[in-house]
Structure 1
Amino acid sequence: MGFDVTYADFSAEPARLANAKVERQRTRSAGSHLALNAGGSVTLRFEVADPEDVEQATLTVTALVSKLGSSIGYAPMDVLLQGEPLVADLTVPGGGDLPQDNVLAVPGHLLKPGTNTLEIRTSGKARSMLWLYRITLDPVWERGRSERARTAEAARDSVFSYRTERRLAHSSSSSWQSAPRLLFHLDRDERSLPAQLGWRTADGAESAISFQSDMSGFHGCYRTADGTAYEYQGRLGDRRPFSQETENLSASTLHRFHTEEGWGGGWHTSHELRLLVDDGATAPVERINWRDQRGNSGVVVLHAATTDVAVTRVRASDEHRANGEVAGNLRNDRRTKWLAGDDTARLDFTLSGPAAVASYSLTSANDFPDRDPRDWTLYGSADGKAWTPLDSRAGETFTGRYETREFFLRATAPGYRHFRLDITRNAGANETQLAQVSFAEAPAGQAFTGYYQRHNEGPIGYRGTPVAVPSSSTGLPASPRVASELESAVASLAETAQTLAALAAQLRKH
């Protein structure tokens, strides 16, 4: 029915084409566009299945007339369909730096079944060049369809490398000086190219840039860690699709995140986010913000990530079973609690496996602040029998109900499976209570927190945790927990072997 997505995108070499074959005369590729000399032409052949379904079509020719030195250029064009003129001597505004979208109506009766021919040609009297960026053609009721498909296809080449220059800000005597290459990749799986990008490195240096719509270059500013400001510009050097080899292009880290969006009172799974910004700095990037060509924008602040460890069992020295305020409630994040009928208490936790715990969190309960723990010691054990003190606290307070406080160990626990929280004093009551206790492993990479805002919508929460990437041909993720679990498994097998050997010896005696 009708005709398929149809476009010719000359911002790439070779041109990106959909339902189109292109012939050129007196033209040359100029990187971001096709340059037509006087008398030059571009012929686009496209297929139409059933023209009776198309009452009218929308043709968009994106073009710019080059300057004549400091003067406005002159390069009128003719647009013909099946040899019939749609417009003659159309003068695209000259002298500017941004291409113009020239939208023309195509009568449906000019379309025919099979191959159709669209021709764009410049006058032999042209005094400058016509720069042709792209051509799109859609049924009038589906206007913009081909442009959306074009930008989505262009977004596949999402790894960009720019040759850059800097010069001192507000200095009439300084000239542009070569600067390190800028390599970046930003993909939220929305198939939209960035329009603006900003970033800050851990040493305090920061940059903010804005791109040409065809990504051929950028202009912006750069400030060093000591506060010196520069103008900053770049020209596209290379562009390619993302692949597993992308990280090999850069000394910086390629970040990959599982993400969630916060709205409606909860967190919801979103697209994977990939980030790479390498401007030659030795300090790592700690903040990135962007706006894409659809008007969506976001900010991420990178920070160390910890991984919660699963608790499989909790035992308490005392618990209030009559009201269901038992130790097992400490494992979940629902608004339940554990209550002990004493001003001191002991909690024993068993994890799903040995874990290199780096921190633990306590959450205050719903009422009676004087039941909050004040003094305690955390112990770790490999077998649940021999205990090693890991962290001691005195005089701690909670400022609110259901407040979660995180406490970091001075040294990461070496793969313990059992943990004991020995509460030796509370805030003055005869009972002691908590809503939740959790444990987290050592940082497993970098996470992020920030916000995301879709075009014409309000901002929402945005957060991410690192995607586990295999570190070797074994496919095992690079994690301290893997090593500790393997060590535990080896120890367990050794113990089992010893037990079986002893049993075999006894059977021989009898």
Structure 2
Amino acid sequence: MGFDVTYADFSAEPARLANAEVERKRTRAAGSHLALDAGGSVRLDFEVEDPDDVPQATLTVTALVSRLGGSLGYAPMDVLLQGEPLVEDLTVPGGGDLPQDNVFAVPGHLLKPGTNTLEIRTSDKARSTLWLYRVTLDPVRERGRSERARTAEAARDSVFSYRTERRLAHSSTATWQAAPRLLFHIDRDERSLPGQLGWRTADGAESAVGFQSSMSDFHGCHRTADGTAYEYRGRLLDRRPYAEETANLSASPLHRFRTEEGWGGGWHTSHELRLLVDDGAAAPVERVTWRDQRGNSGVVVLHAAVTDVAVTGVKASAEHRAAREVAANLLDDRRTKWLAGDTTARLDFTLARPAAVASYSLTSANDFPDRDPRDWTLYGSDDGRAWTPLDSRAGETFTGRHETREFLLRAATPACRHFRLDISRNGGADETQLAQVAFAEAPAGQAFTGYYQRHDEGPIGYRGTPVAAPSSAPSSAPSVPPRVASELETAVASLAETARTLAALAAQLRKH
């Protein structure tokens, strides 16, 4: 390899640099870019180890010319390498709208071992300013390498805060009015900045915005809970890396989810998702959608999370032991069943620990719907002797075999370790049966259900449950510097993406 990843990113102050040292004249930092006045220049020194290994390099200068009032601006630039011009008096298109990628071929013979010098100059005749966003340089066979590295580095600052404004939509007289700060953080460990973001709060208000590639600004729309529509825009106030203290920046909760992706007929563990959106609304966020700058997108709908409680034992008033249709079958997830030779029955369950149960579920057995329970009462107990009624049902039916029905308790319940299901009537048969009984605790936070779609791939299932609070116990794992850990995580993500691509290629080859 002739030289390392090389870039200068002026969307941050100080600029983010890789294999580069920068000197500036007649320039000023302007938030998302570096502004070069007439006669201004940026000199970038970078190291080349073996120029013979680079027959040609690709230079990308991302820049924009500011406007002159309502007219297009004028700030031509020269680009030189070792003092040799690569381009002279180039006028960057755009006129103050969007930054442009200007790509140049760098002849390999201009590169030399050791320190090389790249210079970008604005003309003394410039009437407006040249806005310089970033510079990347790669061997021609590895085009895009430095931009990917730059994006991954920038994505480490993943907590964003914006000053925002709104104005009434479709109004010729409305002016921009200050609106609450927008603070957000979305990270599923893919090292990519967001390109679009949308969210809805529980009161029905919703917003959707798109970001400049540098994250300096956003523009979008907002609709209040009463249906009033606004234009919506924001200017970056602050961006910082995620830290444990991030949760303290907002009154809205920072969600951390253990996630799974659904594909190939099953669910597979994926990266943790961290999610925070705070637009100053009193109502909590209930839905978030996003698309990152690589083209990956996701949707999550937040909802209460319940946790199944382990049952360690069950006893029945009667069971059909000869056919092995016993009460213990109620605790597994196989399609076995419990059968009692009576129109009524009683089941006593013991949990692994006391739990404040919020719901319970019953699963119908494989045959004879008239054996299904119709009327019953659920009791709870601390000691298995004194019982308190918690829930009563009458006239319940199942619409199919092996159907699971969930029943929510109508009031908060105390933590109990013992539960009794007293079935007082079935569908009219001489026997009573069930396939499974399960209990779930009160909400332990919020979970999500949604989908995820990688660029150029189909959508897949996506779901998550809350991550437990970190333990205060000291860890025995060796300490790893944050930057090293981040680079290792990036490498793992890249290998995983490569593995998916190879798997898709193998599938195509098998078809042929």
Aligned to 1:428: 428
Q: Which letter maps to 2:173?
A: S
Aligned to 2:284: 284
Distance (Å, rounded) in 2 between the aligned partners of 1:325 and 1:44? 79
Secondary structure of the residue aligned to 1:227 is: coil
Aligned to 1:494: none
Q: Which letter maps to 2:440?
A: A
Aligned to 1:39: 39
Aligned to 1:364: 364
Distance (Å, rounded) in 2 between the aligned partners of 1:428 and 1:114? 91
Aligned to 2:394: 394
Distance (Å, rounded) in 1 between the aligned partners of 2:339 and 2:137? 70
Residue 48 in 1 paired to residue 48 in 2?
A: yes
TM-score between both structures, scaled by the size of structure 2: 0.89
Residues 15-55 of structure 1: per-residue CA shift (max 9 Å, x gap): 01111111111111111111111221111111122222222
CA contact (8 A) 1:32 1:216 kept: yes
Distance (Å, rounded) in 2 between the aligned partners of 1:35 and 1:73? 13
CA contact (8 A) 1:300 1:451 kept: yes
* Mapping of residues 82-481 of structure 1, within 5 Å: 82-469=82-469
Q: Which stretch shows the higher mean deviation, 107-116 or 315-324?
A: 315-324
Distance (Å, rounded) in 2 between the aligned partners of 1:125 and 1:299? 50
Distance (Å, rounded) in 2 between the aligned partners of 1:19 and 1:244? 31
Distance (Å, rounded) in 2 between the aligned partners of 1:416 and 1:398? 28
Structure 1, unaligned stretches of length 5 or more?
A: 476-510
Distance (Å, rounded) in 1 between the aligned partners of 2:146 and 2:42? 19
Cα displacement (A) at 1:474: 12
Cα displacement (A) at 1:240: 1.1
Residues 1:142 and 1:325: Cα distance change in structure 2 (over 3 Å): farther
Distance (Å, rounded) in 1 between the aligned partners of 2:385 and 2:289? 51
Cα displacement (A) at 1:271: 1.2
Secondary structure of the residue aligned to 1:124 is: coil
Q: Which letter maps to 2:150?
A: R
Cα displacement (A) at 1:472: 9.0
CA contact (8 A) 2:73 2:96 kept: no
Secondary structure of the residue aligned to 2:374 is: strand
CA contact (8 A) 1:198 1:208 kept: yes
Aligned residues: CA RMSD: 1.9
CA contact (8 A) 2:314 2:347 kept: yes
Secondary structure of the residue aligned to 2:148 is: helix
Distance (Å, rounded) in 1 between the aligned partners of 2:245 and 2:154? 20
Secondary structure of the residue aligned to 2:244 is: coil
CA contact (8 A) 1:29 1:35 kept: yes
Residues 341-400 of structure 1: per-residue CA shift (max 9 Å, x gap): 333222221111111111111122233322221111111121222222211111111112
Cα displacement (A) at 1:67: 1.6
Secondary structure of the residue aligned to 1:146 is: helix
CA contact (8 A) 2:61 2:134 kept: yes
Cα displacement (A) at 1:471: 10
Residues 1:112 and 1:366: Cα distance change in structure 2 (over 3 Å): farther
Residues 1:214 and 1:398: Cα distance change in structure 2 (over 3 Å): same
Cα displacement (A) at 1:322: 4.2
TM-score between both structures, scaled by the size of structure 1: 0.89
Secondary structure of the residue aligned to 1:259 is: strand
Residues 1:94 and 1:301: Cα distance change in structure 2 (over 3 Å): closer
Distance (Å, rounded) in 2 between the aligned partners of 1:243 and 1:7? 26
CA contact (8 A) 1:67 1:94 kept: no
CA contact (8 A) 1:184 1:278 kept: yes
Distance (Å, rounded) in 1 between the aligned partners of 2:87 and 2:439? 71
Cα displacement (A) at 1:338: 2.4
Distance (Å, rounded) in 2 between the aligned partners of 1:341 and 1:143? 75
Residues 230-286 of structure 1: per-residue CA shift (max 9 Å, x gap): 111111111111111112111111111111111122111111111111111111111
Q: Which stretch shows the higher mean deviation, 353-362 or 85-94?
A: 85-94
Q: Which letter maps to 2:325?
A: E
Distance (Å, rounded) in 2 between the aligned partners of 1:364 and 1:110? 78
Distance (Å, rounded) in 2 between the aligned partners of 1:101 and 1:251? 39
CA contact (8 A) 1:337 1:434 kept: yes
Secondary structure of the residue aligned to 1:245 is: helix
Residue 18 in 1 paired to residue 32 in 2?
A: no
Residue 30 in 1 paired to residue 30 in 2?
A: yes
Distance (Å, rounded) in 1 between the aligned partners of 2:76 and 2:253? 49
Q: Which letter maps to 1:337?
A: K
Secondary structure of the residue aligned to 1:308 is: coil
Q: Which letter maps to 2:179?
A: A
Identity %: 85
Structure 2, unaligned stretches of length 5 or more?
A: 476-512
Cα displacement (A) at 1:473: 10
Distance (Å, rounded) in 1 between the aligned partners of 2:367 and 2:414? 36
Distance (Å, rounded) in 1 between the aligned partners of 2:54 and 2:242? 38
Distance (Å, rounded) in 2 between the aligned partners of 1:381 and 1:365? 27
CA contact (8 A) 1:157 1:241 kept: yes
Aligned to 1:486: none
Distance (Å, rounded) in 1 between the aligned partners of 2:392 and 2:289? 40
CA contact (8 A) 2:94 2:100 kept: no
Q: Which protein shows a greater Rg?
A: 1
CA contact (8 A) 2:367 2:401 kept: yes
Q: Which letter maps to 1:325?
A: E
Cα displacement (A) at 1:185: 1.1
Aligned to 1:488: none
Cα displacement (A) at 1:340: 2.7
Distance (Å, rounded) in 2 between the aligned partners of 1:291 and 1:403? 37
Residues 1:471 and 1:413: Cα distance change in structure 2 (over 3 Å): farther
Distance (Å, rounded) in 1 between the aligned partners of 2:80 and 2:46? 14
Aligned to 2:497: none
Q: Which letter maps to 1:186?
A: I
Residues 1:315 and 1:55: Cα distance change in structure 2 (over 3 Å): farther
Distance (Å, rounded) in 1 between the aligned partners of 2:190 and 2:401? 40
Give aligned pairs, total: 475
Aligned to 1:62: 62
